[in-house]
Structure 1
Amino acid sequence: MLPIKHLIFYFFILHLVRTSPQFNLHLTDWMNGNNNDDVVLQHNCLHFFHSFETSLSHQMISFCMSESPWKFDIKPNTLDQVFTFIELYKQNITSEQLYYWSIPIDIIENYQRYVNQLSIGDNTSSIMMMGTQLLYNCTSPRFGPQCQYSLDNYISTDVSLNEIINSYYVQPYESKILTCYIHLQCNRGLISVCLDWSEICDGRIDCDDGSDEEHCWIIMNNKCKDNEYRCNNGQCISKIFVNDSLDSFDCLDRSDGHQISSIYFQYNNTLPIFENEDIICSWREALTYSFLPRSVFTSSCMHQRHSLIAQAMFSYEPDFLSYDCFLALRCRFNIPLYDNSYCSDFCQNEECTEMIGQYCPTLFYFPSVPIAYGHVYFAYTIQHVINSTNTRLIPPEYICYNEQLCNEFQSNGTLLMFDGKICRHIQDFLPLVDINRGDWYFSYVRPIHAQLSHCNKIIHGNNSIVCNNSNMYQCMNSLKCIPLSYIGDGIRDCDYADDEEQTLIDTMCSIDQSMMFYKCETTNKCIHRNRIENGYCDCQLDEYGICDDENIELNKMKRKIRFSTICNNFVDLLPVIINGQHHTDETDCQFWPCNNTYTRCDGIWNCLNGADETDCESSLLKCPSYHHICVSPLTNQLMCLPIQKANDGIIDCLGGTDEPALCLIANDFNQQQKFLCKGNNISSCITPGYLCDDFVDCEHGDDENFCNSNSNMWDFVPNDPSNSDAQEFFYAYFYKTLFKPKSVESLLIESKNLDLNTKELRSSMISSNAHECNHGFPLRVWLDVNKNLSTITCLCPPSYYGTSCQYQNQRVSLTMQFNVSTKHEQTPFILIISLIDNSIEQIIHSYYQLSYLYIRDKYTKFNIYLLYANRPKDLTKQYSIHIDIYHLLTLNYQGSLLLPLKFPFLPVERISINVNIPPTDTIINTCNNHQCIHGECIYYMNDPTYTQFCRCKSGWSGRYCNISYICTCSLDSLCVGIGANNQSICLCPMNKFGSQCLLSNNVCQSNPCQNGGLCVSSDERSTSYYPYVCICSKGFSGNNCEISDTKIILSFHKDIVSPVRSLIYFDYIQVIHDSLPTQKKSSKIMCDNNTSVVVSWSHPFHIAFMKIPPFQYYLVIAQNIYHQSSVIIQTIEPLDRCGSINELFHPSIVQMPLIH
């Protein structure tokens, strides 16, 4: 019989397997041997993976402790089971079981090392000592090396760690304090307002000594390569990243995004991912787009920071105001940012006014700190305050400023000297100011920032170097110079406003190579790119109401002729002038049938009588042939209408759906079906968005009478039981024209935002501790589990640190996308991305391992945080990103890249690159540097200047591979370096994982890949939602290679000369309902003496063409229905050749405009 202890042990195992989620901590073997507080390492981490099946980006976030774990006095735990390694070994417990029991990864690897050593007969004293190491079997929900941690958010056994963290961040974080960047000493005049990382190099001095803008001229002068895009702030990114997403940005200042998405960007204060953390909302945006909720006080995207700064401005009690005066002013001004409940006991209205007259000086600043550019104040006289009848915030009487920093005013209004500053009446700046309006910020602060924007003076120490750069413009009659990106942006930066003169702006389009400016096609006018799609036509409307700088993507579509939309009763093509006449795709359509293959049963009335929509299937009502479904205006019920009554000028259906011509507008390029109000004229046609919105828009209420639920077209949920049949009809009727087919590009972007695995949000998981950890994640620490004593600490994301994650971290934010050659699309690679310095030790401050497989990760952008081992980073050192590339199956080295970090003064260095992975047969470019003592000299593959480095052998590190270390990696892995935590950096073979590659991923043991496919397990950093991915053999596809490709066997007629030893090309076209067709390509080499060719294709298609170089095209097949895994045998005949239009038509026809 088993001992009681072992029985308990087995019952515990059974309990864990059945009920417990996984909380495997990483980096629990953390030690800081030198006790140097400047050396900081993440430890006790939980990994969170942010990726969706439809997303183009992938990111792992490590939520870690950033404080010493020894600060917690953990008392002995007697409630949970404790076992030694030797006891686990005797019970045949595997490391895989420990993994599923939420044991920390470091402990599991230590146990596996112990098991490995015993298996080879190692009975040394050190191994015997290792067998005495304790392992705590934690009772759920506790976890950790001593079961000392738990998550308050964990309430159920059927949720994963990712779900718990996701649910926690469902509620946006509301800050009660400011998170701070403390690695730059900054006095901004407000003790309670610290510096934010986004305020460094944002083009405005925030620190009184200007240190926040001291080195920023370096990035202003930054030059980008030909294949790079220059962000407004001087950062360079790969051009392919420009406008590639609607909701994520690669430029810190978001200037690479679609202009409309950048303008209307709303900060999502939830998950601490790149999209939320590594962006700037420049204070300049508040001046450019006055209608948006941007702040002139900060460049942080967090709106709470604006409110907290405004509160601090009114909280600062200066020496020149007495305490009674200060409190009386706060109560009299009735500042809306504050809880002024104390005022009821101190003073109210007239009492406050009397106290101000008694205790305050004759002229004073309020608030007592600058409201703009470090030297602009609001000033008041006692008499102005006493005489004010405004019961809300009193408008300023004077605007005071430093005359040396602010000049060239048009007005010669009242001047007053006060405290060494020139003061003018507010009406001199804002003549139309509403002195009775109490909105302090929008009425006074933001307009004054705009009026005095040229008073923002940043004079650099070496001004000639800055201003002589091609990226800069020197203001007229001034020493001041500004970046070219400031020209024409709507903000006056130069004293004489010459930076906003149209003549200067027009010159920019001819010299600009950075896509910073846009040339209007209609007027040749040049505008700044921030004017594009800003809701106002800057290029001037043409005669058809089309604006070049608004709806650009739609305008591009309207310049493309699509055969399927010709003569469909909708104007889809912008007019072109032919022989003095305007022509569109709806010109000369009298001989074109409106009821055709492209229009039939697409839900849109392309024929005015709807002939193309009769006899189409509908779940709403079964009607006889040649009848339409519509809503009776008498009963609001569905009915069938004969086609003869459609388009006869008589309204028979509610909303005039049988008479669509009554609501059509000539030359309307944004046509959609409209709802005709009963009994009124044509002017009462309303758009579908007004239906069922609980507001009567039609005279007789017919836009609301048929509604059972108040759910308009924008938030309508089809097939809801509360909907009336009429609502369902109108939704189906209007939906097609509201959402007509769009470009493939826009469809890809929109599909990105869909979450295919939407789950019910578990709001009950939001703990009472949200969000005392600021952007971090709360962790309960059990100080004495026996006495139920605990405290809360915080696991911080990489962008923050501190006991409450209250400090902003210095970091590198790296985005990478990869390219491979066609023959390596099924080759898995592994990359090690390291942050290194230029010291002799060449310390690896942090690193990240990334697996890449093209067929899985084709469009993925990998977002990676790299942190410095020292806080703050050592500015005397030069830092770089070093990338090593290996073949995953063989672990063969492929080459290395170097990315120097050029702007060490920036708290966040944002790098976005596109990387070409070299072919596996690439010859490594070595060099002859004899200083590489225990390594070889290698040239970086991306550096044209032939920068070299020493690639060290296992067990050696340093710039010259002369520093030895003990490698702790498994024998079947590669030891590629040592980290700042003195732990080996191990490169694991396929299906192994762990920091020392001692753990096995056995998901591929069952060989789930069919037909000879290769199974590759998905590690924790891969983008796959599946535990493995199959690399299929040629001719097969599918998740498990279970699908045979379509096989096309082609032979050639004797009169067709087939090419020899050359490529022939194939184009496959898939027709998609309600969208543009997709096109994919493949190629095949023709061998000697071959008269046939076999092509495999794994994607759906309806039409296939073959091209024999140089310009011979043949139709291979046209099929209405795609049949998966079919075998198509075809002989290519001379008649299958697609003739050139020059062969088919008379030259006079060929020379006609394309629309003809």
Structure 2
Amino acid sequence: MTNGTCYIHLKCNRGPSPMCLDWREICDRKCDCLDNCNDEEQCFKLEINECEKDQYRCNNGMCISQELFRDRNKFIDCIDASDETFYDREALGLNCFTNPAFDCDTLTCSWFHSFSCGNGQCSTHHPAQPYLSLCQNGRDLLHAQAIFMHDVSSELSEECWLALICALSLEYIVDVDCVYARSVQLVCPSRFIFPSWPTLFNDIRFIYELNNTNIIVPSYICYNAKWCDKFLNATFFINESACKYLYEFPFFDTERLINDNFYDDVELFFKHWCPLPELMITNNDICSHPALFHCAGTSECVSKYRLVDKNADCYQSYDELFNESCSLNLSHRFYCPSDKKCIPQVQLEDGTADCSGQEDELSVHRDCILNKQCENEKIIFSKICNGFTEMPPIQIGDQNETDETNCEYWPCVTPYTLCDKVWNCYNGADELNCSYMIYSYNCKADEYHCIRVDNITQGMQIDNHISQDCLPMKYAGDKKINCLGSIDERDYCHSNYPNEANRRYRCWNDTTCIDINRLCDCTSDCPLEDDEAICSWLRDGLNAFNSFDRKYYCFCSPAYYGDRCQYQNEFIALILNVRRKSARDHLFVFRIIIVLLNEKKDFLFQEQILYVSSCKKRYQMYLLYPDRPKLKDENYSIHLDIYAINRLHNTIQFRSSFHHKIPFTFLPVNRLVVSLAIPETQAQAKSCGNIQCQNGKCYRYENLNQYYCRCSHGWFGEFCQFRHECNCSPQSICTETGCVCPLGKSGSLCYVPEIISCKDIVCQHGGTCIPHGQRLLEKDFLCICSEEYEGIFCEKRRMRINIAFNNIPIPSTILIHYFI
């Protein structure tokens, strides 16, 4: 698409220029490549896939760890976001236009009848549906324009084309003036095809025959019979296309054809009656795999996991009417006693009652707040005075009190509020020294990033009067707005809209507060249009100017490549959830080496992270294939080595290894979520029998009952059979994957001082600054403190109890019992 991105590593006729394939349209259960449907090759494997007992099956058939399902941590783990509620998925997709990031780069659509906007957002309507353009980046509109623009090679004159555009209410798509349009009956032939390109998949075309009515609707619809159901008998043929009269289709409704969901209805009908060949019944009228469910009346088969999930996957919603869903013993289902049916657990507490008795919504906070239906609702301690009302008002005396009442008496800087991206203090003191606020903009430790506005009045171009700056904390919360969006004075929007957590952007010189999702959506919502003027400061990406050749160059996200980052890359989106098992490891930090392997165990791509915490941390990274396009039939896997670094002595010791296979390697983008629990003891070499490690020792993977060779210094290969020179720096360790660096060093040979993240950071009272790197979703440094101090910079003395004995002889053994 123009101004969009394309996946070019699959030969595909997506339609007229500038239409092109988006990688998310591969394995979306519909043919987007018009001529051969090769975007759906091998996708049958996803539909029949079964997950392990300790896994959750995503809507598209992939698997994630069960512990990640509905974990309420605002992170998406399934590539189609089906592990979280619809509200979480919707919010993430809407943000993708203005906030391109890892989740958006790796997000697909989870609905059968959705249209990919090409950036993580999804539309629920066909692009040609009048007045329903939903993609914020305009991909659906560009799609419709490509289909309906006048084709000079067609039999239709431009005058006839204009008449049809206006008669079908499509003028919003191609931006024409219908004042000069003539009657279709006067300027068009008696029979014609419109549009000249197939509007939908499977070569579906609309044939018009003019009559005396003023309603312009197709007379019949033609399609490619080889892709369609044996039950869909053609009435007649034109050339090699099967055709049926419009009134023969069940969706025929004259009133709806004029102004409503005609294209949506046609698309849904043919999706059901023209399913993928692998998802059609056999000659015995049964589905080809036991994991599939037969849609009655058609040849279509769908995964049994799609039954009773609020999405119509069968014709006439037969899968949603199935009344024996509990008999299938599907995992992650909730039993509705009122209906005696089993629904997916992801539908619990999503704000919509799916059981007639509302058992699935009994404890939802959203209903409590908005509908005041719950009493004595309990919340966890950390949510009290966190800036969001979690409970309905309770009458206490003559006051209505909530969990946000009398918060001025509570400390605003606590372990729960520190660096959580919410201002709990009036001046934001709880969000100071957080890297997402200052280090990216070179602000000082007591300053906030601020987009300032010069004197501006109605009618002036605000984007010519804004600049980046840093605001000292003393000016925050002083009742005077200094920064665009009133980010330094947040009380107004919060007080006026306490239950609308996203309505926090205050328009400049105005009392209007708008939802942050309406920023940079190409529609001005503020009187001075400042909600659109800030976009150049907000969007990711880097356009660099080269002073030598005086040209601009684009630095692309790993998800894209090309001189304008216009092509979509193939990669593995790896998410690591890391935690340590033992509290005794507090003296260690862990360097984790991640290597992408092929079937020959060749090292194709390498990344590494530094884990410095006792809590679970989430890391996100792109693993790129060495070939473009990647080898079609190659199998890939990921090998992870963990090294423990003693922070006092800066010595390195191997701890353990993990191995994970990459499933469904035919997909251009694969999302792998790995839970990594660091063992408390070092792995020991084993006697492996059939594996002969020539210059190394045999070890077992921590997560598998499989063995591998760990090579000695200077050797590499599957069996450590190859020699290589190792020039790593002192204190580092030479391995077959490269050099493992001690703290403070980086680079391929560990000679480069690792000072960028810790520059200007002073850890107090003997603390040590450790750089996190760019993979962690938090600040990029950490001060490791001694046992006596804590805080971001080790500036606070830990609470302790000093016990002293005066003039009392202390025996060799003593039992002390005390109360706090």
Q: Is 1:204–2:38 an aligned residue pair?
A: no
Instruction: Work out the CA distance in 1 between the residues paired with 2:532 and 2:725.
Output: 48
SS at 2:278's partner residue? coil
Shift in Å, 1:372: 3.5
Equivalent AA in structure 2 for residue 380 of structure 1: Y
Structure 1 residues 762 and 239 mapped into 2: Cα distance closer, same or farther (>3 Å)?
same
Instruction: Work out the CA distance in 1 between the residues paired with 2:595 and 2:238.
Output: 56
In the other structure, the counterpart of 1:482 is 302
In the other structure, the counterpart of 2:571 is 811
In the other structure, the counterpart of 2:291 is 471
Pairwise CA RMSD: 4.8
Instruction: Work out the CA distance in 2 between the residues paired with 1:530 and 1:403.
Output: 38
Deviations 1:13-58 (A, max 9, x none): xxxxxxxxxxxxxxxxxxxxxxxxxxxxxxxxxxxxxxxxxxxxxx
SS at 1:894's partner residue? strand
Equivalent AA in structure 1 for residue 783 of structure 2: V
Shift in Å, 1:294: 2.5
Structure 1 residues 1014 and 952 mapped into 2: Cα distance closer, same or farther (>3 Å)?
same
Instruction: Work out the CA distance in 2 between the residues paired with 1:336 and 1:883.
Output: 56
Shift in Å, 1:422: 2.8
Structure 1 residues 536 and 988 mapped into 2: Cα distance closer, same or farther (>3 Å)?
closer
In the other structure, the counterpart of 2:79 is 252
Instruction: Work out the CA distance in 1 between the residues paired with 2:24 and 2:278.
Output: 20
Q: Is 1:1037–2:794 an aligned residue pair?
A: no
Deviations 1:627-685 (A, max 9, x none): xxxxxxxxxxxxxxxxxxxxxxxxxxxxxxxxxxxxxxxxxxxxxxxxxxxxxxxxxxx
Deviations 1:829-865 (A, max 9, x none): 01011111122xx33222111000224xx24211111
Instruction: Work out the CA distance in 2 between the residues paired with 1:311 and 1:459.
Output: 31
Structure 1 residues 925 and 371 mapped into 2: Cα distance closer, same or farther (>3 Å)?
farther
In the other structure, the counterpart of 1:962 is 721
Counterpart contact for 1:488–1:505, Cα < 8 Å:
yes
Counterpart contact for 2:715–2:721, Cα < 8 Å:
yes
Shift in Å, 1:198: 0.5
Equivalent AA in structure 2 for residue 227 of structure 1: D
SS at 2:671's partner residue? strand
Equivalent AA in structure 1 for residue 182 of structure 2: E
Equivalent AA in structure 1 for residue 644 of structure 2: H
Deviations 1:704-759 (A, max 9, x none): xxxxxxxxxxxxx999689xxxxx999999989999xxxxxxxxxxxxx9xxxxxx
In the other structure, the counterpart of 1:606 is 395
SS at 2:39's partner residue? helix
Structure 1 residues 611 and 527 mapped into 2: Cα distance closer, same or farther (>3 Å)?
closer
Deviations 1:537-582 (A, max 9, x none): 33225xxxxx333475339999xxxxxxxxxx996159xxxxxxxx
Number of aligned positions between the proteins: 675
Q: Is 1:425–2:246 an aligned residue pair?
A: yes
Instruction: Work out the CA distance in 2 between the residues paired with 1:734 and 1:779.
Output: 42
Structure 1 residues 328 and 877 mapped into 2: Cα distance closer, same or farther (>3 Å)?
same
Shift in Å, 1:398: 3.6
Shift in Å, 1:199: 0.9
Deviations 1:312-342 (A, max 9, x none): 222473966255577455655463354455x
Counterpart contact for 1:283–1:297, Cα < 8 Å:
no
Counterpart contact for 1:829–1:886, Cα < 8 Å:
yes
Counterpart contact for 1:833–1:881, Cα < 8 Å:
yes
Equivalent AA in structure 2 for residue 548 of structure 1: E
Equivalent AA in structure 1 for residue 574 of structure 2: L
Higher mean C-alpha deviation, range 895-904 or range 299-308: 299-308
Deviations 1:1113-1139 (A, max 9, x none): xxx44xxxxxxxxxxxxxxxxxxxxxx
In the other structure, the counterpart of 2:660 is 899
SS at 1:454's partner residue? helix
Q: Is 1:294–2:124 an aligned residue pair?
A: yes
SS at 2:673's partner residue? strand
Equivalent AA in structure 1 for residue 36 of structure 2: D
Structure 1 residues 1001 and 502 mapped into 2: Cα distance closer, same or farther (>3 Å)?
closer
Q: 1:935 aligns with which of 678, 688, 696?
A: 696
Say which structure, 1 or 2, has more relative contact order (CA 8 Å, 6+ apart). 1
In the other structure, the counterpart of 1:881 is 638
TM-score of the pair, normalised by structure 1: 0.51
Instruction: Work out the CA distance in 2 between the residues paired with 1:417 and 1:1022.
Output: 60
Equivalent AA in structure 2 for residue 481 of structure 1: C
Instruction: Work out the CA distance in 2 between the residues paired with 1:729 and 1:322.
Output: 61
Shift in Å, 1:512: 0.9
In the other structure, the counterpart of 1:680 is none
Q: Is 1:185–2:11 an aligned residue pair?
A: yes
Counterpart contact for 1:267–1:301, Cα < 8 Å:
no
SS at 2:679's partner residue? coil
SS at 1:1040's partner residue? coil
Structure 1 residues 886 and 326 mapped into 2: Cα distance closer, same or farther (>3 Å)?
farther
Instruction: Work out the CA distance in 1 between the residues paired with 2:621 and 2:238.
Output: 52
Unaligned runs of 5+ in 2: 116-121, 379-390, 409-475, 482-489, 502-516, 518-529, 806-810
Equivalent AA in structure 2 for residue 994 of structure 1: G
SS at 1:815's partner residue? strand
Instruction: Work out the CA distance in 1 between the residues paired with 2:758 and 2:94.
Output: 43
Structure 1 residues 1089 and 262 mapped into 2: Cα distance closer, same or farther (>3 Å)?
same
Unaligned runs of 5+ in 1: 1-174, 542-546, 559-568, 575-583, 585-601, 620-716, 723-727, 740-752, 754-760, 785-789, 979-984, 1052-1086, 1095-1115, 1118-1156
Shift in Å, 1:966: 3.5
In the other structure, the counterpart of 1:837 is 598
Instruction: Work out the CA distance in 2 between the residues paired with 1:571 and 1:337.
Output: 46
Counterpart contact for 2:761–2:769, Cα < 8 Å:
yes
Alignment of 1:101-250 (within 5 A): 176-190=2-16, 192-207=18-33, 208-245=35-72, 247-250=74-77
In the other structure, the counterpart of 1:350 is 182
Alignment of 1:424-573 (within 5 A): 424-425=245-246, 428-430=249-251, 432-434=253-255, 437-438=258-259, 443-460=261-278, 467=287, 469-476=289-296, 480-490=300-310, 492-494=312-314, 498-508=318-328, 511-513=329-331, 515=332, 517-528=333-344, 536-541=352-357, 547-550=358-361, 552-554=363-365, 572-573=375-376
Shift in Å, 1:243: 2.1
In the other structure, the counterpart of 1:988 is 741
Equivalent AA in structure 1 for residue 730 of structure 2: L
In the other structure, the counterpart of 1:1153 is none
Counterpart contact for 2:80–2:110, Cα < 8 Å:
yes
Shift in Å, 1:244: 2.9
Q: 1:913 aligns with which of 670, 674, 696?
A: 674
Alignment of 1:732-881 (within 5 A): 776-784=541-549, 790-821=550-581, 822-839=583-600, 842-855=601-614, 858-881=615-638
Structure 1 residues 399 and 605 mapped into 2: Cα distance closer, same or farther (>3 Å)?
same
Percent of pairs identical after alignment? 26
Equivalent AA in structure 2 for residue 1092 of structure 1: I
Shift in Å, 1:1015: 5.2
Deviations 1:327-362 (A, max 9, x none): 455655463354455x79xx9322765331xxx3x3
Q: Is 1:336–2:125 an aligned residue pair?
A: no
SS at 1:184's partner residue? coil
Shift in Å, 1:808: 0.7
Shift in Å, 1:197: 0.6
In the other structure, the counterpart of 1:268 is 96
SS at 1:518's partner residue? strand
Structure 1 residues 801 and 425 mapped into 2: Cα distance closer, same or farther (>3 Å)?
same
Instruction: Work out the CA distance in 1 between the residues paired with 2:243 and 2:89.
Output: 38
Counterpart contact for 1:1032–1:1041, Cα < 8 Å:
no
Q: 1:1025 aligns with which of 774, 779, 790?
A: 779
Equivalent AA in structure 2 for residue 834 of structure 1: V
Counterpart contact for 2:209–2:218, Cα < 8 Å:
no
In the other structure, the counterpart of 1:3 is none
